[in-house]
Amino acid sequence: MKRAPGPDGPSRAPALPHASRGLTLAAWALLGAAVALDLVIDPRVTLAPVLATAPVLASIGTRRAGVPLLAGLCALFFVALMALNDTKVPLVTHMTTACTVLAITCISTANVVLVATRESELVHSRSVAVAAQQALLRPVPERVDGLRVAVRYRAAAAEARVGGDLYEVLRTPFGVRLLIGDVRGKGLGAIEAAADVLGTFREAAQVEAELAAVARRLDATVRRRGIGEDFVTAALLGIPRTGGPVEVVNCGHLPPLVRHEGQVTAVETGADRTDPPLGLRELVAGPYHLGTFPFGRGDLLLLCTDGVTEARDTSGYFYPLERRFAALRESTPAALADQLVSDLLAYAGGELADDAALLVVRREHGG
């Protein structure tokens, strides 16, 4: 689901908005009218200077340097024709017009080359970040210890920078452990932070019997990075292999949602039991708070990042995740995740302002 830029860079310019396209066409029409008018008005007057706008108009919406260059050469040709026909116009006027057209042609062509180069560099940088993020977020197992799992990751709009959403599902000696998180910040720095957190989780989840100890090690990893004001929100969950309640340590992240017999409940720890995001633990005294909640056979668990809950419709209203999650009829994690993503995109008008990750888990037996 992740959209990645093509390897060849921007082969063509993005389509112009409707209003810009209309204004550009109007400008071309005015230019044509001026050339036609020049042929019928007083021969002592010339409108040839307007031809200097031709290479500028031609450079709009293109990334090919030859387009404004060709338009400028055509404009110079028309200037030459006008000079032959408008014999009563001083030659210096035509020469000045020709020099102006030539100068603007060079500027317009150089500008197209510069914009195309910058866009190519931007696409390359974004593709490197996307590739790093895709390599970091490994595929999760579809079935693990009596659970069915599905993950969907949706990139934001192409204009947005790559984010630091992260997730993991691991089979450990202590049951299945899940992690979902979101790095504050964007770009390669956020991906580096996500890589450190995931690396620590993949090791600590296998050796630490207490989920709170895993969270403590993740917090230490973020603090060692020295990323200043940045932090990582995260939810850590432990699902026992033999059934029973699920353990959760929530470090400033969105609460997990559980759907049981069509009813959706947010797993809240309470205002007095909220743990800070990773990297900020030293600001709060005391141990991590370990919560539990029931998760029986057939129940669905949904974890997500704020790219989901902060998606807005055209009226500015946030996506009503709990209500939509309860209303969807699909029961398999994969089908439900696909339906949620489709519903989210339809609600947000086709694209998101931030990356969004969804992790859906169903207990098939036990509990």
Q: Which two tokens stand for residue 140?
A: 């999760």
- The radius of gyration of the chain from alpha carbons, rounded to an integer in Å, stands at 30
**Burial bucket for residue 56 (CB in 10 Å: 0-12, 13-18, 19+):** middle
CA distance 300 to 282: 34
Per the CB < 8 A criterion, the answer to whether 251 and 221 are in contact is no
Q: What's the confidence (pLDDT) of residue 9?
A: 44
Q: Which two tokens stand for residue 182?
A: 């979101």
**What strands lie across the sheet with 175-183, from one edge to the other?**
164-172, 175-183, 232-239, 246-251, 291-293
- Domain 137-363 in CATH 3.60.40.10? The answer is yes
Distances (CA, A) of 71 to 16, 47, 67, 68: 19, 17, 6, 5
Per the CB < 8 A criterion, the answer to whether 319 and 347 are in contact is yes
- Which is nearest to 278 in space by CA: 175, 134, 180? 180
Q: Is the dihedral angle over the CA atoms 269, 271, 272, 275 positive or is it negative?
A: positive
Which residue type is seen at 198?
Answer: L
Q: What's the confidence (pLDDT) of residue 325?
A: 94
H-only helix segments in 252-358 = 306-309, 321-327, 333-347
What pTM did the predictor assign? Answer: 0.68
Q: Is the dihedral angle over the CA atoms 261, 318, 188, 116 positive or is it negative?
A: positive
In the predicted model, residues of the chain with pLDDT beneath 50 are: 1-11, 271
Domain boundaries, the chain: 18-130, 137-363
**Burial bucket for residue 235 (CB in 10 Å: 0-12, 13-18, 19+):** buried
